[in-house]
Structure 1
Amino acid sequence: MPIFRNARFEISVSKTAGLPPPDGAEIAFAGRSNAGKSSAINTLAGHTRLAYVSKTPGRTQLINFFRLNCGAVLVDLPGYGFAKVPEAVRRQWQGLLEDYLRRRENLVGLVLIMDSRHPLTPLDRQMIDWFVPGGRPIHVLLTKSDKLSRNEAAATLASVRRELAALGPQISVQLFSSLKKIGMEEVEHKVAEWLSLPTEDLPAIPTAAELRAAGK
């Protein structure tokens, strides 16, 4: 059974004071507004509306907690990089993100969403800078990869991997497409590794040849 399938909503919080007591390992999903974070979560969970999808950046203003069947928790963080909100609100959201990422003791890894057409923005780098000192892993999803040609996608993947390599082996990178369901298996295997879960029952990661044969 895929790790994220049948995730169940538990609670939303707007301030760090409202965070629930640690109960199980937490996997956080973060990303620039409109980079495809909510779509990625919905695709992984096999649910069309688990995480709210909006064409208006900055609509996800809360930290949302979803319990997984394995006992771990998927944590959907507010999108960052939003422009059309008051400065005071932007500062509040930034503080919430930074505090959670730096201090949450049961947070075991960060899935960082970047639009494959615009990766490694200054705000993406800021998120990495907040998280890397803790020594916990980051897995980057280069979303909307279906918008690129195969050569463009491969070049982007290689470029981002090369640029992040200096930060050490705790950072990994892959291509992902919610529309074409590309990369789901790779995410599952990476998170299973973080949670020390067996991978035998997870779908196998398809090879490049298999993806080409499937038209992906």
Structure 2
Amino acid sequence: MIIKNSSYAISAVREDQYPTDNLPEIALSGRSNVGKSSLINTLLSRKNLARTSAQPGKTQTLNFYLVNQEFYLVDVPGYGYAKVSQKKRQQFGTMIQDYLETRANLQGLIILMDSRHEPTKNDVAMYNYALYLNLPILIICTKIDKVKKNQQNQVINTLKQKINLNYDNVSVITFSSVQKLHVKEVWQWIEENL
């Protein structure tokens, strides 16, 4: 994928705010602070297009990033952040559910999980939900550069022990925004599913 241009397009919390140009979309989901913004910035070769923050729970809307005037990457609010009130979490849940279940333009879901930790209950729930929606799924194990070299292969094995990856529509990739590791493979998956 050659990035000719990319831009932040719009933030939305409900359907009437979504883009209306009928372009395909790939959504990115994961717990707060898993590296969604870093992934977007790395993929698009931009420093601060998607705002990264040391403070989890910053993304509170569906953020649409237009790529090459051809498709959108959609950053979904992170889940599992304890400092957000129960009411706010329910609002996020409804907003995410409405988007994932009703958006005809949605072509696939990228679920980010932190390589340094086993999948959380929320990770497993999001994965099972994506299977239920029958979307193409790419699991990206982020921050692989922070895992010791001799333990990197174990990351995928641990994942396999926790969740069933034996589905035709599921792919798994390790990723590092620091080392720009497997950027090409992520783009390949996106292109195949657009």
Contact 2:118 2:158 in 1 (8 A): no
Q: Residue 93 of structure 1 corresponds to which residue in structure 2?
A: 92
Name stretches of at least 5 consecutive residues in structure 2 with no aligned partner.
Answer: none
Q: What's the TM-score once normalised by structure 1's chain length?
A: 0.83
Partner Cα separation in structure 1 for residue 19 and residue 150 of structure 2: 44
CA offsets 1:97-147 (integer angstroms, 9 cap, x no match): 122112211100011111111242111111122221232211011000001
Aligned to 2:48: 49
Cα separation, 1, equivalents of 2:153 and 2:122 = 23
In structure 2, what is the equivalent of residue 138 of structure 1?
Answer: 137
Greater Rg by CA: 1
* Aligned match of 1:13: 12
Q: CA deviation at 1:164?
A: 4.0
Aligned sequence identity (%): 39
| Residue 2 (str. 1) matches residue 2 (str. 2) | yes
Contact 1:2 1:188 in 2 (8 A): no
Q: Separation in 1 of the partners of 2:159 and 2:168?
A: 14
Look up the SS of the partner of 1:90 in the other structure. helix
Cα distance change of structure 1 residues 127 and 145 upon mapping to structure 2, 3 Å threshold: same
CA apart distance, 1:17: 4.1
1:65 paired with 2:64, answer yes
Q: TM-score, normalization: structure 2?
A: 0.92
Which sections of structure 1, spanning at least 5 residues, go unmatched? 196-216
Q: Is the 8 A contact 1:22 1:106 kept in 2?
A: no
Separation of aligned partners in 2, 1:13 and 1:56: 21
Q: CA deviation at 1:70?
A: 5.7
Aligned Cα RMSD in Å? 1.8
Distance between the aligned counterparts of 1:91 and 1:23, measured in 2? Answer: 28
